[in-house]
């Protein structure tokens, strides 16, 4: 029943968002509330890869390199062909925009039902490194004349390199133009322990555990894997590692199984030390210990992209696991359009709209060893934005 309802919501026009003229033309109603969905983004085609890498490698919020203005472009150019090949192997591009738009439509459909007082709701996608960019989303939001705008990070766990970079980009956008006085802004910067987020991961894990023979099922090692972070950022006080761990703990509490579990880290870039143990090394190490049944859980990603479809599925589950002698390894799907996840998104936003706060003290508090004037200026901007 849930699947049928979800499908109908995706395919049918919503009466709360549009109406038919006498000529039969569908005309959009003005949205009252905008939901700006922040994420990193990914190239839809291999032609976008070079510019995508260039933006990442020159963004000091994401990665800090010596002589970055020169070294960043050099690394991007050097890696372009290799990364293009990886995207070709997963269908020619990232599905993250498709999934984000699907999630956005389902989220706003749910909000229209839950909160008619703030409807119609409309989602806007603001990617960091590929179109639609931050400026695209906020320009459209202003043109649509929304009364309330919720900036909603699609990274459940906050990091200065991810959510922080997107926030800085918003602040940069409004350095060059006047903030609209008729829009009330607010911010959801993190939501790592929301019970429905934990529940959807628990449901996804259960699906994979059921694929193992009952004789070994309770001893399958659950490896929660998340994008790693430079130890320099961890030492500075970035909250990401403990927020990821909090999501893991909430998921295991919801799952209620006896299986052992560990948190491991993937996607290291560059020569500096990053959070360990690395996911591929953990797979090899458990094989040596005789633990040859594993489940990989991408706990910090809400939709499929290259780090799940290629790094986890092809590089780790197919290549590393096979070479290590793993007998069975299963990779848990990201939340995508799972009904429980859409319910999580809707509840996060609905509770925020009803109870606030417009801006959390956690976001306003800088890391104890933060020396970034850009970070300080960005937080001051958002305080003024929500209190104007």
The residues annotated as belonging to the active site are: 194, 347
List, in order, residues 6 or more apart from 262 with CB less than 8 Å away.
Answer: 221, 222, 223, 224, 277, 282
Contact 247, 300 (CB under 8 A): yes
Neighbouring residues of 160: CB distance < 8 A, sequence distance ≥ 6: 61, 233, 236, 238, 240, 367, 372, 375
DSSP code for 278:
B
* Residue 272 DSSP label: S
Single out the residue of 254, 228, 222 nearest to residue 241, CA to CA: 228
Q: Do residues 88 and 126 lie in contact, with contact meaning Cβ atoms separated by under 8 Å?
A: no
Phi, psi (rounded to 5 degrees) for 12: -95, 145
Is residue 107 a contact partner of residue 342, using CB atoms and an 8 Å limit? yes
> Using CB atoms within 10 A of its CB, is residue 197 exposed (0-12), middle (13-18) or buried (19+)?
buried
Q: From CA 226, how far away is CA 300, in angstroms rounded?
A: 5
Whether 378 and 174 have beta carbons less than 8 Å apart is answered as no
Greatest Cα-to-Cα distance within the chain, rounded to the nearest angstrom: 71
Residue 314 DSSP label: I
Buried b (16+ CB within 10 A) or exposed e, 351-363: ebbeeeebbeeeb
């Amino acid at each position: 029943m849930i699947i049928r309802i979800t499908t109908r919501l995706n395919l049918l026009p919503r009466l709360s968002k549009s109406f038919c003229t006498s000529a039969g033309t569908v005309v959009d109603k003005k949205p009252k509330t905008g939901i700006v969905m922040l994420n990193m983004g990914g190239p839809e085609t291999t032609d976008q890869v070079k510019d995508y890498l260039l933006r990442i490698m020159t963004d000091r919020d994401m990665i800090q390199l010596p002589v970055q203005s020169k070294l960043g472009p050099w690394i991007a150019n050097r890696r372009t062909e290799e990364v293009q090949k990886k995207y070709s192997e997963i269908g020619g591009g990232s599905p993250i925009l498709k999934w984000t738009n699907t999630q956005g439509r389902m989220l706003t459909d749910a909000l229209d039902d839950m909160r008619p007082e703030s409807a119609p709701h409309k989602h806007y996608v603001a990617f960091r490194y590929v179109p639609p960019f931050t400026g695209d989303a906020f320009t459209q939001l202003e043109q649509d004349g929304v009364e309330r705008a919720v900036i909603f990070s699609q990274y459940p766990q906050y990091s200065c390199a991810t959510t922080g970079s997107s926030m800085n980009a918003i602040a940069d956008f409004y350095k060059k133009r006047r903030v609209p006085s008729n829009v009330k802004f607010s911010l959801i910067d993190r939501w790592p322990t929301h019970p429905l987020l934990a529940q959807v991961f628990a449901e996804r894990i259960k699906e994979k555990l059921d694929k193992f023979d009952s004789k070994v099922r309770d001893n399958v090692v659950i490896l929660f894997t998340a994008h790693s972070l430079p130890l320099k950022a961890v030492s500075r006080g970035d909250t990401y590692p403990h927020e990821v761990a909090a999501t893991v703990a909430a998921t295991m509490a919801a799952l209620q199984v006896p299986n052992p579990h560990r948190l491991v880290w993937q996607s290291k870039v560059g020569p500096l030390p990053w959070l360990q143990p690395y996911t591929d090394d953990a797979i090899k190490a458990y094989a040596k210990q005789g633990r040859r049944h594993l489940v990989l859980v991408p706990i910090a990603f809400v939709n499929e992209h290259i780090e799940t479809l290629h790094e986890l599925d092809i590089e780790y589950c197919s290549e590393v696991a096979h070479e290590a002698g793993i007998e069975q390894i299963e990779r848990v799907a990201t939340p995508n359009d799972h009904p429980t996840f859409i319910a999580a998104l809707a509840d996060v936003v609905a509770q925020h709209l009803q109870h606030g706060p417009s801006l959390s003290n956690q976001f306003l508090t800088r890391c104890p060893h933060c020396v970034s004037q850009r970070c300080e200026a960005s937080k001051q901007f958002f305080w003024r934005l929500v209190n104007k």
